[in-house]
Amino acid sequence: MDEHDRLAEQFEAHRTRLRAVAYRMLGSISEADDAVQEAWLRLSRFDASAVENLGGWLTTVVSRVCLDMLRSRRSRREESLRVPEPIVGREDRTDPEHEALLADGVGLALLAVLETLSPAERVAFVLHDTFGVSFDEIAPIVGRSPAASRQLASRARRRVRGAATVPDADLARQREVADAFLAAARDGDFHALVAVLDPDVVLRADYGAVPPDASREVRGSRAVAEGALAFARRAPFARAALVNGAAGVVVAPNGRPLAVMGFTVARGKIAEIDILADPERLSRLDLVAVLDD
């Protein structure tokens, strides 16, 4: 084994953790993979013999890449709604790679809150609260002092605790509630839709850039139920799936993905619905396992 192969082997030992760090920061597997690949490219051009803690060095590099990506994303589209790119799998199969990425309850509800943080807040919070990185190490990544980095994480933590919905743990019950929603939509039953929705339900729908006003956020059970009635003709094409470890569906007429819907069920009601229908972002998702019967 030559030096390049040895370095590649060492890098692979850290890949799963690096992807998990990047996914929490970016809310996108495809962008997380880009960040991890950039870390490998930088490592391959660096004198690795000078690195005492390779895992820490790689985490720093990935974090800086993610921070740049978050800042670039924000400068491109300040006002448009962005739904996180979900991790989609089949309910009857266990995917160890997905489980590693979704450890510590990385549901769509949490990612949606993280999307509201500033880039520096998000990086500081993810590194410290999820991965236990010290503020002395976080400070040079975000370009702040350790004390200021602590404040970034603290502000983010308050936002997350105040806004993130805690989903019910029973997946079977989640599926019952999601199926009741879909059945009511298929039947055009407005009252049944309202009954399965939390009164303060939030629906986020990301249809991409065209038309510019298509992506939106809808609040309240009656408003969401009214919108769901328009979904009735698509409901028969909804296939059950795990979306970030929770009940969800992939809408795919004739096997062509049109949308991924993730449901956050809390206290037996649907509290949040996240819909990703942006064709460009949908094309990045690995949906083969769900669509392949």
Q: Do 156 and 125 touch, CB atoms closer than 8 A?
A: yes
What residue spans in the chain does CATH classification 1.20.140 cover?
3-163
Residue 1 has what pLDDT?
Answer: 59
Rounded distance, CA 219 to CA 38, Å? 39
User: For residue 141, which of 51, 40, 64 has the smallest C-alpha distance?
Assistant: 64
Q: Do 164 and 113 touch, CB atoms closer than 8 A?
A: yes
Residue 188 has what pLDDT?
Answer: 93
Q: The tokens 């509290």 sit on which residue?
A: 271
Structure tokens of 119? 């880039």
In a 3-state reduction of DSSP, which class is residue 105?
coil
What residue spans in the chain does CATH classification 3.10.450.50 cover?
171-291
Give residues with Cβ within 8 angstroms of 222, minimum separation 6.
194
Name the burial class of residue 172, with classes exposed (0-12), middle (13-18) and buried (19+) by CB atoms within 10 angstroms of its CB.
exposed
Structure tokens of 46? 């660096």
Give residues with Cβ within 8 angstroms of 105, minimum separation 6.
245
Block mean pLDDT (10 aa), the chain, length 293: 82 94 94 96 84 92 96 69 88 78 80 93 96 96 97 95 86 96 94 97 87 78 93 87 93 92 96 94 87 73
Q: The tokens 């950039």 sit on which residue?
A: 38
Residue 233 has what pLDDT?
Answer: 84
In a 3-state reduction of DSSP, which class is residue 208?
coil
In a 3-state reduction of DSSP, which class is residue 90?
coil
Give residues with Cβ within 8 angstroms of 70, minimum separation 6.
25, 26, 119, 122, 123
Residue 234 has what pLDDT?
Answer: 86
Count of all residues that appear for the chain in the document: 293
Structure tokens of 49? 């013999």
Strands, E, within 25-177: which ranges?
88-89
Q: Do 261 and 205 touch, CB atoms closer than 8 A?
A: no
Residue 49 has what pLDDT?
Answer: 77
Give the single-character DSSP code of 202.
E
Sheet order of strands, 197-206 included: 88-89, 238-243, 246-251, 259-266, 269-276, 197-206, 216-219
Structure tokens of 214? 């298509």
Rounded distance, CA 1 to CA 252, Å? 46
- Beta strand 259-266 with 246-251 is antiparallel
Q: Phi first, then psi: what are they for 185, rounded to 5°?
A: -65, -45
| Class of domain 171-291 (CATH, top level) | alpha beta
| Type of residue found at 220 | G
- Beta strand 238-243 with 88-89 is antiparallel
The CATH topology of domain 3-163 is Butyryl-CoA Dehydrogenase, subunit A; domain 3 (1.20.140)
